[in-house]
Structure 1
Amino acid sequence: MYSYMTHLQCPKCKQSYEKGDIHHLCECGSPLLVQYDLERVKQEWTKDSLAEEPLSLWRYHPLLPVEQAKDVVTFGEGMTPLLPMHQYGATIGLPQLFMKDEGLLPTGSFKARGAAVGVSMAKALGIKELAMPTNGNAGAAWAQYGARAGLRAHVVMPEDAPEITRKEVAISGGHLTLIDGLISDAGKVVAEAIRTYGYYDASTLKEPYRIEGKKTMGLEICEQLKWTLPDVILYPTGGGVGLIGIYKAIQELRTIGWVKGEMPRLVAVQAEGCAPIVDAFHEGRTESTFFENAHTAAFGINVPKAIGDFLVLEAIYETNGCAIALSDEDILHEQQVVAQLEGAFLCPEGAATFAAAKQLVQTGWLKEDDVVICLNTGMGVKYPESVQVESPVISKNGSI
């Protein structure tokens, strides 16, 4: 079988929904999660068969929702490097520090994973036009994958979103709307357009398939570590779909018996200027509250209230993880340090995970013998305005 998907289920009220139909949120308002026949997967899917698959996220198709290979929309995304960060790790006391570099994906960010699976499912469901709010990279990815699938994307983003992401939407034929506000304000504009024109709602977690693409980060990490589990995974958290997906992926791998041992401790990394998950975690709450006046240089995690916040917090609590917020100053400083020590030009969101690792070592939460993975979620070159460096020396005679 190409997919072992059985149905969708609400994680709150446990109501089930049939596959093959268009679904968004549960009647109770919760996001829906895709379920699989994991007993059959355990019996019929083997690591030997996986080894014969192409090196893309679609190698995990038994644990993905697309049921027909003909519906797959792809640019070859997946299997990003898991790189040892020896020099940086040595400076902060983490000799087993790794980076999962999602900046090498098509469209330059991890959003390509969610777009690949989400757009493929939209195509399979017969969707022609979709709409979504975004801080930039998700809209760029969905517009480009949508173009490849023959779908029209209507994208609404804050006017101060990175310029390159706006151009990616436009050049791909997407309909772009810029607003003076946050992604939460963009969401209101999208909701009205959906009510008026009947577009397919591709907002974060309002369609259930983006998370299935994002969870392949977790599947890849486990395969790249030869089916062993790391101790800690740090993830830059805005909407939190990737963290939820990684948690789901490892749970599924444990159920089918491909990995054993304790779950990695999951760390939600946010910016001090927008830290609703961190506030909720420190107060022991299961849901966050809207973060007023949100602002951060790590634009991709500037999400004042995530619809899946309860799932993010559950993943943190269940894995004995934590949530931590960094100042923009610390984030941008660490972006430069990592580049100088490792040659890796991270996006600000990715740099935040390294700044978090550094602080967690200083507090003793991370230990020297921990195997730690930082997620870099995008190319640094997509955020040139985040880099402040000294002016170059201009030579008039060709000498240095």
Structure 2
Amino acid sequence: MDQFENLTADRPTFVTHLECSATGERYEADQLHGLSDAGKPLLVHYDLDGIGGSIDKEALAARPPDMWRYREFLPVRAAEHIVSLGETTTPLIHLSNEEARLGARSIIVKDESRLPTASFKARGLGMAVTMANELGVRRVAMPTNGNAGAALAAYGSRAGMEVYVFCPADTPEVNVREIALLGARVWRVNGLINDCEKIVGAGKEEMGWFDFSTLKEPYRIEGKKTMGLELAEQMQWDLPDVIFYPTGGGTGIIGMWKA
């Protein structure tokens, strides 16, 4: 097995269009989009029958264990545009002590700390930066409390982009330094996360950056979706009774729903 096969093989994508999550208005694929004309997030749509006819469980299982094994379910068209830092399949860990203490049949944690930048943010930002790379973006910006900014810094730097990150005043110093060490230009703002978001929005025209704020671009959701696909595959397509997920800004929970 070629461990880089998922990053180099010529595989189809089955994206048909993007759609406003509020109005249903359709938008062309393969074009750079932020929010819809209604100011709402856009969702990527696929030809699901096409996906079903192109890949089966056995073929999927034979691929190297990383996020990009699900290429047919993802929006990137050309392998050379993929921006990767080694997004391995993350393990499921049984919490046997907690199972015994609570009398639970099975409690499982998916350990996303094994991903680049040590958080599940790598899935979403890896995909979002990949699509920005495919669509010709060279300068990006986002507001962040920490982990997302680190992921954007890492993947944006990997792609050769200029990365601008704005953190609220109470962001821990370790997060600010991590973002800087990973190659971004980072500022601590005298305010809250919404103040940082205003700076990013106001700078789009003057600075020419693409706004990577939560749910203001459509592809971070697609990266987070791979966690749901991976979980289903790891559990032999028999999903847990209950999944607890840290909702945060919402991209991940939407991605899990899409999966």
Per the shorter chain, which TM-score range? Answer: over 0.9
Q: Which aligned runs of 4 or more in structure 1 are off by greater than 3 angstroms?
A: none
* 1:289-343 superposed Cα distances (whole Å, 9 cap, x missing partner): xxxxxxxxxxxxxxxxxxxxxxxxxxxxxxxxxxxxxxxxxxxxxxxxxxxxxxx
Q: 1:235 aligns with which of 238, 242, 245?
A: 245
| C-alpha distance in 1 between matches for 2:16 and 2:184 | 33
My pick for the range that moved more, 99-108 or 176-185, is 176-185
Give the structure-1-normalised TM-score. Answer: 0.61
What is the aligned partner in structure 1 of residue 65 from structure 2? Answer: 55
Alignment partner of 1:232: what SS?
A: coil
Alignment partner of 1:6: what SS?
A: strand
* 1:154-197 superposed Cα distances (whole Å, 9 cap, x missing partner): 00111321322211221122110111222112111111111322
Instruction: In structure 2, give the amino acid aligned to 1:186.
Output: C
Alignment partner of 2:136: what SS?
A: coil
Residues 1:233 and 1:197: Cα distance change in structure 2 (over 3 Å): same
| C-alpha distance in 1 between matches for 2:167 and 2:207 | 19
Instruction: In structure 2, give the amino acid aligned to 1:103.
Output: S
Measured after TM superposition, the shift of residue 115 of structure 1 is 1.2
Measured after TM superposition, the shift of residue 89 of structure 1 is 2.3
Alignment partner of 2:245: what SS?
A: strand
| C-alpha distance in 1 between matches for 2:47 and 2:91 | 30
Kindly indicate whether the alpha-carbon contact (under 8 Å) linking 1:79 and 1:220 is maintained by their aligned counterparts in 2: yes
What is the aligned partner in structure 1 of residue 142 from structure 2? Answer: 132
| C-alpha distance in 1 between matches for 2:50 and 2:196 | 42
| C-alpha distance in 2 between matches for 1:24 and 1:190 | 13
1:245 aligns with 2:255: yes
Alignment partner of 1:227: what SS?
A: coil
Instruction: In structure 1, give the amino acid aligned to 2:168.
Output: P
Instruction: In structure 1, give the amino acid aligned to 2:200.
Output: V
Q: 2:26 aligns with which of 12, 16, 19?
A: 16
Instruction: In structure 2, give the amino acid aligned to 1:136.
Output: G
Instruction: In structure 1, give the amino acid aligned to 2:242.
Output: V
Measured after TM superposition, the shift of residue 236 of structure 1 is 1.5
1:180 aligns with 2:190: yes
| C-alpha distance in 1 between matches for 2:116 and 2:227 | 15
Task: Supply the RMSD in Å over aligned alpha carbons.
Answer: 1.2
Kindly indicate whether the alpha-carbon contact (under 8 Å) linking 1:25 and 1:207 is maintained by their aligned counterparts in 2: yes
Measured after TM superposition, the shift of residue 138 of structure 1 is 0.4
What is the aligned partner in structure 2 of residue 72 from structure 1? Answer: 82
Measured after TM superposition, the shift of residue 152 of structure 1 is 1.0
Aligned length: 249
Measured after TM superposition, the shift of residue 43 of structure 1 is 1.4
Q: 1:192 aligns with which of 196, 202, 215?
A: 202
- Which ranges in structure 1 are unaligned for 5 or more consecutive residues? 250-400
Measured after TM superposition, the shift of residue 29 of structure 1 is 1.3
* 1:333-373 superposed Cα distances (whole Å, 9 cap, x missing partner): xxxxxxxxxxxxxxxxxxxxxxxxxxxxxxxxxxxxxxxxx
Instruction: In structure 2, give the amino acid aligned to 1:150.
Output: G
What is the aligned partner in structure 1 of residue 42 from structure 2? Answer: 32
What is the aligned partner in structure 2 of residue 281 from structure 1? Answer: none
What is the aligned partner in structure 1 of residue 166 from structure 2? Answer: 156
Kindly indicate whether the alpha-carbon contact (under 8 Å) linking 1:86 and 1:95 is maintained by their aligned counterparts in 2: no
Instruction: In structure 2, give the amino acid aligned to 1:178.
Output: R
Alignment partner of 1:9: what SS?
A: strand
Instruction: In structure 1, give the amino acid aligned to 2:79.
Output: A
1:144 aligns with 2:154: yes
Alignment partner of 1:113: what SS?
A: helix
| C-alpha distance in 2 between matches for 1:122 and 1:15 | 22
Instruction: In structure 1, give the amino acid aligned to 2:46.
Output: Y
Alignment partner of 1:207: what SS?
A: coil
| C-alpha distance in 2 between matches for 1:2 and 1:70 | 13
Instruction: In structure 1, give the amino acid aligned to 2:38.
Output: C
Q: 1:3 aligns with which of 5, 13, 28?
A: 13
| Equivalent residues in 2 for 1:165-314, closer than 5 Å | 165-249=175-259
Kindly indicate whether the alpha-carbon contact (under 8 Å) linking 1:78 and 1:113 is maintained by their aligned counterparts in 2: no
What is the aligned partner in structure 1 of residue 95 from structure 2? Answer: 85
What is the aligned partner in structure 2 of residue 111 from structure 1? Answer: 121
Alignment partner of 1:42: what SS?
A: helix
* 1:200-240 superposed Cα distances (whole Å, 9 cap, x missing partner): 11111101000100111101110010011111111112202
Kindly indicate whether the alpha-carbon contact (under 8 Å) linking 1:111 and 1:141 is maintained by their aligned counterparts in 2: yes
| C-alpha distance in 2 between matches for 1:131 and 1:58 | 25
